[in-house]
């Protein structure tokens, strides 16, 4: 079974949002670090950096052919939605788009196929 283009699009979304999250996290850290109150709150910037790294890892896994994931990584899209906590509305929009793409019939069928092909593989 060939990989649907929606999976490539999800991987591209993860790459773009991962880059934006890492940049936003460093901006928060260095921006807040310059003030006295910000010095106490600078760990807030580590969350988008961590989400960005996770997005990069899963984007690389999704770009492979065939995708060796037995389940769709919904958790990564949920993490994209939660970056709105650190004032990142782009992550919210991209998270909704990737969740909608995961619910398409072709993507679900592809992950069902890969789970039968690689039963020992985990989604992590």
Q: Per residue in 91-114, pLDDT tens?
A: 999 999 999 999 999 999 998 888
pTM confidence score: 0.86
Report the domain count for the chain. Answer: 1
DSSP 40-102: HHGGGGHHHHHHHHHHHHHHHHHHSSS---SS--HHHHHHHHHGGGGT-HHHHHHHHHHHHHH
- 14 within some domain: yes
- 124 within some domain: no
Q: Per residue in 54-86, pLDDT tens?
A: 999 999 999 987 787 878 889 999 999 998 887
pLDDT of residue 69: 80
Domain extent at residue 63? 5-117
- 123 within some domain: no
């Amino acid at each position: 079974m060939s990989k649907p283009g929606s999976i490539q699009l999800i991987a591209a979304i993860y790459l773009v949002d991962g880059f934006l999250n890492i940049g936003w996290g460093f901006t928060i850290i260095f921006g807040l670090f310059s003030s006295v109150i910000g010095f106490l709150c600078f760990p807030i910037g580590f969350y988008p950096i961590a989400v960005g790294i996770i997005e990069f890892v899963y984007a690389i896994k999704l770009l492979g052919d065939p995708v060796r994931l037995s389940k769709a990584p919904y958790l990564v899209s949920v993490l994209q939605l939660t970056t709105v906590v650190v004032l990142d509305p782009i992550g919210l929009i991209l998270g909704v788009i990737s969740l909608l793409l995961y619910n398409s019939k072709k993507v679900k069928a592809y992950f069902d196929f890969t789970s039968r092909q690689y039963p020992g593989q985990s989604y992590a």
